[in-house]
Amino acid sequence: MASCHEMKKGEVYICRECGLELEVVKECTDADKEPLGCSCDESESACTFSCCGSELVKKE
């Protein structure tokens, strides 16, 4: 599942349903910390990204 903590600058994530592509232009400010230490991780789904009801996946 795509989360802000694991998304790195320059990577592209895509929706398998509609083809929408998102490129990471700035990393999460807490990307160098453990996932549970992420400042925007107040709930399990706070940092996840989806489109058309499905998770975004890293473009190969």
Angle at 19 between CA 26 and CA 24, to 5 degrees: 5
pLDDT in tens, 1-19: 677 778 889 999 999 999 9
CA distance 24 to 59: 12
pLDDT band for position 48 (50/70/90)?
Answer: confident
Dump strand ranges (E) for the chain. Answer: 12-14, 21-23, 50-51, 54-55, 57-58
pLDDT of residue 38: 66
Average pLDDT of the chain to the nearest whole number: 81
Both tokens of 56, joined, read: 């975004």
* The model's pTM: 0.74
